[in-house]
Amino acid sequence: MAFAKRIVLFLLVNILVLATISIVMAVFNVQPYLTQNGIHYTNLMIFCLIWGFTGAFISLALSRMMAKWMMGVKLIAPDTQEENTRWLVNTVHSLARRAGLSTMPQVGWYESPEVNAFATGPSKNRSLVAVSTGILNRMDRNQLEGVLAHEITHISNGDMVTLTLIQGVVNAFVMFFARIIAFAIAQNVREDMRYMVRFAVTIVLDILLGILGSMVVAYFSRIREYRADAGGARLAGREKMVGALQSLMSTTQLIDTQHASMASMKISGGGGFWALLATHPPLEDRIQRLKSGMAL
């Protein structure tokens, strides 16, 4: 479901962390890859690998806290006695045990008309599953169980850690090429301006190349999405998983009709360039795969 939401949050935080690291390194002149003869490429790659993975893992460590803060998630006490929240907690914990998790995820909800749910957290033992009021109002319990099974599968598959490792590699290449290009551009200006030009161009390229690198992360996210659908079907049953996706598709189509300008923001992605940034495959394709028994 809204694995896209946590991925988008993760990518945004990652780009900001990457830019911050670059600014701090430049301010303190920590550039061990620069010599009198130019760039030492081996040192540059080591530098980029270290800080690229540092940026990715900082983003991962902050993922649960950032999701709570940015979306206003209200946690549900595990011993709640209110009927609906009790069902929600019991269902999440039951699915988590079925998926082999030893530590139960935190469960929460947030105020929003959107039909969404998401799971996030830096590890299987420090995870969060949250649902919107919109999904609680629009889906029946069978459909909602399919959604929750899908999100629990993301946790049990370790998808955030996997994508963090991929993001670390992407970060390293982004930083590597940004600094090579910035150095080359700075060589074509006056010597007294080179440091500032190299600094400015590096930051801009870290952001722009970071966005392009997000396409790689989005590609792997789409693959993990198919796996989460298959895992959700195993945990909750294929009918519940298909029903959840069909319900989501009907809601998405309704949004398309009323707010066509927002089409590119759907978790199922758009066409052309937007398809490369989509963290989810088309809903129709996901439903067809489940119905035909296809799984990755």
Q: Write out pLDDT tens, residues 211-248.
A: 888 889 889 989 999 999 999 999 999 999 999 999 98
User: At residue 261, does pLDDT exceed 50?
Assistant: no
| Residue 262 pLDDT grade (very low, low, confident, very high; cuts 50, 70, 90) | very low
In the beta sheet, which residues pair with residue 35? 38
Q: Contacts from 137-142 at CB under 8 Å and sequence distance 24+?
A: 138/247, 138/251, 139/115, 139/244, 139/247, 141/87, 141/91, 142/239, 142/240, 142/243
- The secondary structure of residue 77, as a DSSP letter, is P
Q: Is the pLDDT of residue 263 over 60?
A: no
Mean pLDDT of 103-125: 92
Whether residue 178 contacts residue 209, with contact meaning beta carbons closer than 8 Å, is answered with: yes
Question: Cβ distance 186 to 130 under 8 Å?
Answer: no
Per-residue pLDDT, 3: 44
Q: Is the pLDDT of residue 68 over 50?
A: yes
Other CB atoms closer than 10 Å to residue 41's CB: what's the count?
A: 11
Tokens of 192: 């007294």
Q: Tell me the average pLDDT of the chain.
A: 85
114: annotated active-site residue: no
Q: What pLDDT is stored for residue 250 in this prediction?
A: 82
Residue-level length of the chain: 296
More confident call, 51 vs 149: 149
Tell me the average pLDDT across 51-55. Answer: 87
Q: What does the pLDDT average to over 103-108?
A: 96
Strand partners, 75: 108
Position with higher pLDDT, 123 vs 254: 123
**Minimum mean pLDDT range among 20-24, 160-164, 172-176, 220-224:** 20-24
pLDDT higher than 60, residue 271: no
Q: Which amino acid is at 180?
A: I
Mean pLDDT of 170-185: 94
The pLDDT of residue 71 is 84
- At residue 1, does pLDDT exceed 50? no
Domain containing residue 75: 1-296
Q: Which is more confidently placed, 62 or 79? A: 79
Q: Is the pLDDT of residue 77 over 50?
A: yes
Burial of 62-89, coded b for 16+ CB within 10 Å and e otherwise, reads bbbebbbeebebeebeeeeeeeebeebb
**82, 83, 111, 151: which is the annotated catalytic residue?**
151
pTM for the model stands at 0.81
Domain count, the chain: 1
